[in-house]
Amino acid sequence: MTELAPTVDLIINSRRRRAGRHAVLLALLIAVVLALFGITLSVGQSFTPPVEVIRVLIGQDLPGTSFTVAQLRLPRAVLSILAGMCFGLGGVAFQVMLRNPLASPDIIGITSGAGAAAVFAIVVLSMTGPMVSILAVAAGLCVAVLVYGLSFRNGIAGTRLILVGIGMSAMLQSVIAYILSSAPAWSLQEAMRWLTGSVNGAQLSQALPLFLALVLFGGLLLSRTRDLEALQLGDDTAAALGVRVATTRMLIIVCAVGMIATATAVTGPIAFVAFLAGPIAARIVRGNGSLLLPSALVGAILVLAGDYVGQLLLPSRYPVGVVTGALGAPYLIFLIVRVNRTGGSL
Amino acid sequence: MTGIHETSDRRWVSAARSNRVRSLWFAGLIVVLALLLALSVTIGTRNVDWSDISAALGGMQDTIGQAAIALRIPRTVLALLAGASLGLAGAIMQGVTRNPLADPGILGVNMGASLAVVTGVAWFGMSSAHAYIWTAIAGAGCTAVFVYTIGSLGRGGATPLKLALAGAATSIALASLAIAVVLPRGDIAGGIQSWQIGGVGGATYGRIVPVMPFLAAGFAISLLSARKLNSLALGDELAAGLGERVAVARAIASLGAILLCGATTAVCGPISFLGLVVPHLCRTLIGVDYRWLLPFSAVGGAGLLLGADILGRIVARPGEIDVGIVTALIGAPFFIWIVRRQRVREL
């Protein structure tokens, strides 16, 4: 026993160091999110001094400034953060569970399923509010189960699941295209929201379902971090470690789809955020602890920064999905090259 | 030659029929195609009676009915050409890559053509039909080379699933870039967006005639490469042993397919999954001999696209569903079915 002591100390120390690094990284990411939040609130078409922003936020009424900050910028920023976190968390849960960065919900058709349901609910059934979200979540779950079931054959093979998902996605995309093109009032702005995602015209009331989804599903998911990481080692190993594989997997799918679909119902499928957040977080964390929270924060950063860039820094105004889409596309291609060359994981 | 062929692909042996049976099937397909042609001219949003139809076919355009028919004729011609090109291109791609999942849409070739055209229109103010076609063909060619290169990286070379994954991912990435290119141009975005769904509605002879030479060249090269594809189907080593220059054969056959895909996409927009479904269906009819398979795929593709277009007009009356949407709804389940049948190695 005494001979083991130095080794045990070593392990404890290294664990502590890793936990410490993880905490520092999380703090840094949160700081970046807050900084971007602050910039979004104070620097727009016009500049609002931070002091005035804070005065508006604590409830004072300043003529003009109140409208710009509280009505225009705040909902946009809040929605960006919440949607980004939902996409990031849901995306990384899938990527980790299926051990493949390509298995993100926006590639295997879950986002398209939620989007198709939301478009159908809004354009054809003229629904609004929570009903749209519920329908989107239900559709997302159906697609997830369908893709999972269809690719199940003597066990799941990642490639098969991704290709089945891509096929499913192609069908659902064409449904979206049809509904949009046959809608009575075809508005490009609205259509773009459902093709690439945007936070244009955000209202604070829209943030509520996102917040609920994040607390409920996100909380549940984070409480299962350990099981999720065990699943990453392979089903057999996870089962040997005492994880109930089937139950955990079901729970993770429900949680991830819940977040992704709710976010999609509100902002549209913001392109590639779910796909990008995990791998970027993996580069930042470098094996020092869990990927879940960092991915959620990276998702928030991507959407906030993407929206800011799209609104202000480019020659014409783009919805956020176009910016993240242009960012994600080369990465997707790079990833395919790497996966094919080496056989890849996160 | 046939002996080797049979051992190399036993599955299709049972489906291989004598030439007479194949000829009969071909005649049957032609009859079906003729029927679909007739339907395509007669069915539409507006019900037109027979006298108007025959008058319109004679060139009259006096009544609204006759004018409607006059609009349906070029549309039918375009569906015929586009379907034949895509079916043929699909068969060629499946032969060149020896991959049952190959299709101009899935391998990203159509999306490459589409992105090239979109970029040309949005950034360089391209407007002439010839510029469209050349850009589309260039885009299709670059994407094909790119996807094939990526798909054949790593262990095992260009396995069906790896190639399909490379193509599908490239396609998704290019589609996303295309949206980014189009969006700031609010003046053209609506038009391009509807073009990108893929359809044959609103066709005019003015749009069809410029692509004819390209399609003709594509058809000629493709149909002439049947023998080469038969050799390639035996595997590279055997094909080389039989005296085939493998790389040259691949390049020539691909050129034909790229011409067809690029030219078709320039007119119709990217249409997926047609080139996947048609060759498979034709194989079950007449076996794997490319000398038969290629013409069958062309005729079958024309028939399927016409059928899909007619279906799109019937289902959503009084509106219509673009043919690109119909083919995706029919073709994607088929794609999933083939993916399920593949044995896969975990990447």
Question: Nearest by CB to B186, which of A102, A173, A188?
Answer: A188
The set of residues, in sequence order, having a beta carbon less than 8 Å from that of B300 and lying 6+ positions away, is B29, B87, B278, B281, B282
Q: Which of B328, B339, B340 sits opposite A174 (nearest CB)?
A: B328
Burial (Cβ within 10 Å: 0-12, 13-18, ≥19) of residue B332: buried
d(CA B187, CA B59): 36
| Closest by Cβ to B340, choosing from A153, A168, A323 | A153
* A90 or B156, greater pLDDT: A90
- Do the beta carbons of residue B12 and residue B287 sit within 8 Å? yes
The answer to whether residue B158 scores a pLDDT higher than 80 is: no
- Reported as half-sphere exposure (CB side, CA atoms, 13 A), residue B294 has a value of 23
Write the DSSP symbol of residue B11. G
3-state class (DSSP) for residue B206: helix
The pLDDT of residue B9: 54
What's the CA gap between A60 and A48, in Å, rounded?
A: 15
pLDDT of residue B245: 87
* B336 at interface of A, judged by CB pairs closer than 8 A: yes
Indicate yes or no: CB of B153 within 8 angstroms of CB of A337: yes
**Average pLDDT score, chain B:** 84
Name the DSSP class of A270.
-
B-chain residues within 8 Å CB-CB of A188? 186, 189-190, 193
First to last CA, chain B: 36
Residue B21 in contact with partner chain A when CB distance is under 8 A? no
The band of B343, judged by pLDDT with boundaries at 50, 70 and 90, is low
- pLDDT above 90: residue B52: no
Q: Determine, for residues A271 and B176 on separate chains, whether the beta-carbon distance falls below 8 Å.
A: yes
| Chain A CA closest to residue B180 | A322
Residues of chain B found within 8 Å of residue A270, distances taken between Cβ atoms: none
Cα(A328)–Cα(B29) distance, integer angstroms: 45
The string of pLDDT tens digits covering residues B104-134 is: 988 989 999 999 998 998 888 887 888 888 9
Q: Report CB contact under 8 Å: A318, B184.
A: yes
| Amino acid type, A17 | R
CB A196 within 8 A of CB A269: yes
Q: Which residue of A has its CA nearest to B191?
A: A188
What would the pLDDT profile of B198-211 be if each residue is shown by its tens digit? 888 777 888 888 88
CB within 8 Å: A170 and B340:
no
Query: For the range A200-205, what are the long-range contacts, defined as Cβ-Cβ under 8 Å and sequence gap of 24 or more?
Result: A200/A319, A202/A75, A202/A76, A202/A78, A202/A79, A202/A80, A203/A75, A204/A74, A204/A75, A204/A78
pLDDT of B66 above 80: no
Across A75-84, B9-18, B96-105, B338-347, the highest mean pLDDT is recorded for A75-84
A30 at the B interface (CB within 8 A)? no
Q: Look at residue A216 in the predicted model and tell me its pLDDT.
A: 93
State the average pLDDT over residues B233-257.
88
The predicted model scores a pTM of 0.84
Inter-chain contact A329–B329, Cβ cutoff 8 Å?
Answer: no
Torsions phi, psi for B288 (to 5 deg):
-100, 0
Radius of gyration of chain B (CA): 20
* Residue B190 confidence (pLDDT) above 80: no
In which band, very low, low, confident or very high, does the pLDDT at B14 lie, cut at 50, 70 and 90? very low
* pLDDT in the model for residue B160: 77
B169 band by pLDDT with thresholds 50, 70 and 90: confident
Distance in Å from the first CA to the final CA of chain A? 37
Per the DSSP assignment, residues forming a β-bridge with A156 are A152
Per-residue pLDDT of chain A (346 residues; tens, 9 = 90+): 556 777 888 888 888 888 888 888 899 999 999 999 999 888 888 888 888 888 888 877 777 778 888 788 888 999 999 999 999 999 999 988 888 888 889 889 999 999 999 888 888 888 777 888 889 999 999 999 999 888 877 666 677 888 899 899 989 988 888 888 777 665 666 677 777 788 887 788 888 889 999 999 999 999 988 888 888 777 788 888 888 888 888 899 999 999 999 999 888 888 889 999 999 998 888 877 788 999 999 999 999 999 999 888 877 778 888 888 888 888 888 888 877 776 544 4
Check CB contact of A274 with chain B, cutoff 8 Å: no
| Per-residue confidence (pLDDT) for residue B259, from 0 to 100 | 93
Tell me what the mean pLDDT of segment B81-99 comes to: 92
Q: Do B340 and A181 touch (CB under 8 A)?
A: no
Residues in B 75-114 with any Cβ partner in A closer than 8 A: 101
Q: Which of B339, B342, B343 to mutate to test the interface with A (most CBs of A within 10 A)?
A: B339
Largest CA distance in chain A: 79
Interchain proximity B154–A340, CB inside 8 Å: yes
CB contact at 8 A, B173 and A329? yes
Q: Is pLDDT of B8 > 70?
A: no
Q: How many CB pairs under 8 A join A and B?
A: 151
Alpha helices in B47-198 (DSSP H): 50-57, 64-97, 109-124, 129-151, 160-182, 186-197
Give which of A344, A295, A322, A305 is closest to A159, Cα–Cα.
Answer: A344
Residue the block writes with tokens 């890559």: B97
b/e A126-138 (16+ beta carbons within 10 angstroms → b): ebeeeebbbbbbe
In this predicted structure, the answer to whether residue B345 has a pLDDT above a threshold of 70 is no
CA–CA distance, B100 with B293 (Å, rounded to integer): 14
Q: Answer yes or no: do B169 and A333 touch at CB < 8 A.
A: yes
